[in-house]
Structure 1
Amino acid sequence: MVLYRPRAKDYAHAMRNLKIFDNPHDMSKYLIHYHNLYNLTDDPIGAGLITPSKEEKADHRNGWLHSHYVMLGNVPLGIFDVETLRCVKKPKLEIEEDGSGGLKCQFEILDEGYIFFLGADQWYGHTTMLGYKRSNMSTPYARVDDIAVNPDAFTQALEHFIADRAIKIVQGRMKQQELNEQKRKRA
């Protein structure tokens, strides 16, 4: 899975616009379409137009350990990371209407199943997105308020959750492997 955030004035704004992709090719196609760069390339997929920087940095604020700038010539368009979540497949998000004007979506991240709901609260006049682990539907696992009830805003919020959760799972597995190796060395 490829993590991408656009270049922005501040970190919080960039992270609000986080995107995830299956591979770097999909990210390049998105950037060519988003920035309307079709007139700069004869190749419809834009191979070679958008390139990664050679310098790699770890961003410990969000767990991206192998970040690179994505460049159009010498202009940075954003920051991406291919390596941190290379073992994670991007879940397919199929958003459905729930019958009461809200939206719902089910997906899996590394063998953990989730179901999310987004809807408007008629009494309080705001919207709420609630996410549950399918193995424990008694208490919400995630909650975000004031999201527009439309598929694009819902997808954006889900992608942010997926990236954050996948990084935590991968980091937890890495720490467990390190602990196991330390135990083996002691024995």
Structure 2
Amino acid sequence: MYGSGRGLRFFLGFLVVILVLFLVIVLIVRGGGSDSKKVQETKKTLMSYVDNPAVTVTQTVIGPVQASQNHDQATITVSNSSSVMTIYKGYDGSVVDSKSYPMNQTSFGEFLKALDRAGYTRGNTPEELKDDRGFCPLGSRYIFTISEGGNELQRYWATSCGGTRTYNGNLSLTRALFKNQVPDYYTMVNNANKNSGTVLSL
């Protein structure tokens, strides 16, 4: 009896050791896979795009919800070769004015660094806030994107009404930085106002 009891304890101990070793191996494998996944999902920094000609950062300003002939929208798109401002009228994308200015990697790098410090990549987009339409209908919506070769890498938005938003960066600083990339910003807005007979809320 004593011998068989001792043998049973030895066998159970052996099983426990095997089980512990198996759990250790599983944890190591899973841990390695998790770290690898984290590395793959790490978001690029803005400065990593400075020498990529396919990357653009864009601010879109959408005016109040109103009659098509009074509705306005404007985009400022910046890359390492140019900054382009386009003003639209109505909901069908009719261009009122558009101007392009030369950019280089140095100036683009300064711009990206300033945007980075303004928190341009900070935000979150829960499913229910992916569609910004209808928010702040009597004010303006501001949409901030990063695109590469036509593929949208980031899209956050905020409004002039405050409250609900997905963009968590410094809104006023971000908007000012985009305006500063267009030397004729206010001239373009004033001319558009004269031509359309309305006041652009940009």
Fold match by TM threshold 0.5: no
Based on CA coordinates, which of the two structures has the bigger radius of gyration?
2
TM-score class, shorter-chain normalisation, is under 0.3
TM-score, L = length of structure 2: 0.21
Higher strand share: 1
Higher helix share: 2
